[in-house]
């Protein structure tokens, strides 16, 4: 009996030692972690003025759009009724061309139209009585159609001797004066749309990447004695071959039309300011994994130092970091390196 008890005790001790050895063999996985912190949002400046450290450049005011207004035919300009800098409305008369020839052509076309209509009426009675061959009746109808077409062309030529503004704006340049011969499609005046303007800045290629469409800008124009807050920014995609600069254009409201093309401006691009708030946390892009069914997740470290898989949704990226809109909160510890060896509940050290 004593031998049996001794053998049983020996077996239990050996099993316990074996289990202890197995547990000791499962060492925790060493990983690198990071505590999630909120992203810095961009604050919109409230005061009209450049921030400290803002980059300043020289800019030139440009019109939003320029329209060249020209006659469709050739002729001598009789008079130009606008001057440079004058405000014009859509449909306003800009210039007139000598219309003597056009009026003569119109009179001839009207005479031919009257003759064709008279012939049509005289031969209609014969056609109705069956005394006129069908071929002749068709020929007479064709002559009436031709006369009408020529009349329409003559009327259009006379109307084209008057040049009207296709858009509203300010007369930029007057390129043809009274007594000069205007050629087809030769600009007589240019009309500038300055209801809003653009300020063009040449920016070095090393700084263009820091500018976005919504970067805050502060614009000062000495000619008007006023300062303006810039609007949306357009970045050029082709660099100057000599200076290696890109054209950047900033939209500026110009309701009073005080800003005119060619004015020199001082342009300041503000740097983003951190804003305290509930911005989406940012994590390294490499920390976000994808399951076979397309769901996104990260490995988090629980208070008991075990790995937990946490499903997340992500937003926009900034450099090598990505916003996590749901799934983890600020203060959570996530695994950034060594997650390849993890499974649910794995002990980790960091």
- Pairwise CA distance, residues 178 & 164, whole Å: 16
Q: Taking the domains of the chain in order of start, what are their residue ranges?
A: 25-41+276-349, 55-65+196-267, 99-160
For 317, half-sphere exposure in the C-beta direction (CA atoms, 13 angstrom radius) is 8
Identify whether the C-beta of residue 199 lies closer than 8 Å to the C-beta of residue 267.
yes
Please report, rounded to a whole number, the percentage of residues in the chain having pLDDT higher than 90: 50
pLDDT, mean of residues 111-115: 92
Residue 51 has pLDDT above 90, yes or no: no
Question: What is the three-class DSSP state of 309?
Answer: strand
Residue 341's pLDDT is what?
Answer: 87
Place of tokens 């006023």: 226
Residue 271's pLDDT is what?
Answer: 57
Residue 46 has pLDDT above 60, yes or no: no
- Pairwise CA distance, residues 18 & 40, whole Å: 53
Give pLDDT tens digits for 308-342: 999 999 887 666 778 888 888 888 999 999 888 89
Residue 7's pLDDT is what?
Answer: 47
| Degrees to nearest 5, angle at CA 66 with 241 and 236 | 30
DSSP per residue, 198-232: EEEEEEETTTGGG--TT--EEEEETTTTEEEE---
- Pairwise CA distance, residues 297 & 309, whole Å: 7
Residue 40's pLDDT is what?
Answer: 47
Instruction: Identify the helix (H) or strand (E) that includes residue 334.
Output: strand 333-337
pLDDT, mean of residues 213-228: 91
Question: What is the three-class DSSP state of 158?
Answer: helix
Decide if 25-41+276-349 and 99-160 have a common fold: no
Residue 255's pLDDT is what?
Answer: 85
Architecture of domain 99-160: Orthogonal Bundle (1.10)
pLDDT, mean of residues 12-31: 58
Residue 278's pLDDT is what?
Answer: 46
Determine the CATH number of domain 55-65+196-267. Answer: 2.40.30.170
* pLDDT level of residue 56 (50, 70, 90 thresholds): confident
- Pairwise CA distance, residues 109 & 120, whole Å: 16
Q: What mean pLDDT, rounded, does the chain reach? A: 84
CATH number for the 25-41+276-349 domain, one of 2.40.420.20, 3.40.1350.10, 3.30.1300.10, 3.30.43.10?
2.40.420.20
Handedness of CA 295, 296, 299, 301 (dihedral sign): negative
Identify whether the C-beta of residue 106 lies closer than 8 Å to the C-beta of residue 91.
no
Within 10 Å of residue 249's Cβ, how many Cβ atoms?
A: 19
Within 10 Å of residue 339's Cβ, how many Cβ atoms?
A: 21
Residue 47's pLDDT is what?
Answer: 47
- Pairwise CA distance, residues 93 & 170, whole Å: 14
For 36, half-sphere exposure in the C-beta direction (CA atoms, 13 angstrom radius) is 28
Of 198, 185, 189, 162, the residue nearest 86 (C-alpha): 189
Q: Which of 3-12, 52-61, 80-89, 207-216 has the lowest mean pLDDT?
A: 3-12
Residue 125's pLDDT is what?
Answer: 81
Give pLDDT tens digits for 253-307: 998 889 999 999 999 987 554 444 446 788 888 899 988 888 899 999 999 999 9
């Amino acid at each position: 009996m004593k031998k049996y008890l001794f053998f049983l005790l020996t077996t239990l001790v050996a099993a316990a030692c074996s289990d202890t050895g197995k547990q000791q063999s499962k060492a925790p996985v060493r990983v690198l972690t990071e505590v999630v912190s909120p992203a810095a949002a961009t604050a919109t400046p409230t005061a009209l003025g450049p921030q400290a450290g803002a980059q300043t450049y020289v800019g030139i005011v440009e019109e939003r759009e320029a329209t060249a207004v020209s006659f469709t035919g050739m002729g001598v300009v009789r008079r130009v009724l606008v001057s440079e800098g004058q405000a014009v409305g859509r449909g306003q008369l800009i210039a007139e061309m000598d219309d003597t020839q056009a009026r003569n052509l119109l009179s001839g076309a009207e005479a031919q139209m009257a003759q064709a209509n008279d012939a049509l009426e005289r031969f209609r009675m014969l056609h109705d009585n069956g005394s006129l061959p069908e071929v002749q009746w068709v020929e007479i109808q064709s002559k009436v159609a031709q006369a009408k077409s020529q009349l329409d062309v003559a009327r259009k030529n006379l109307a084209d001797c008057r040049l009207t503004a296709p858009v509203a704006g300010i007369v930029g340049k007057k390129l043809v004066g009274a007594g000069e011969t205007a050629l087809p499609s030769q600009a007589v005046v240019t009309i500038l749309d300055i209801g809003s303007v653009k300020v063009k800045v040449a920016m070095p290629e090393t700084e263009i990447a820091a500018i976005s469409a919504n970067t805050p800008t502060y614009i000062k124009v000495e000619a008007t004695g006023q300062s303006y807050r810039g609007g949306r920014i357009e970045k050029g995609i082709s660099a100057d071959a000599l200076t290696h600069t890109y054209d950047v254009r900033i939209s500026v409201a110009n309701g009073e039309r005080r800003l005119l093309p060619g004015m020199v401006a001082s342009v300041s691009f503000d740097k983003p300011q951190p804003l305290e708030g509930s911005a989406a946390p940012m994590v390294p892009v490499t920390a976000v994994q994808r399951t076979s069914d397309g769901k996104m997740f990260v490995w988090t470290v629980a208070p008991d130092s075990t790995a937990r898989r946490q499903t997340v949704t992500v937003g926009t990226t900034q450099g090598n970091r990505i916003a996590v809109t749901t799934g983890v909160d600020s203060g959570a510890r996530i695994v950034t390196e060594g997650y390849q060896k993890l499974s649910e509940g794995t002990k980790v050290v960091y």
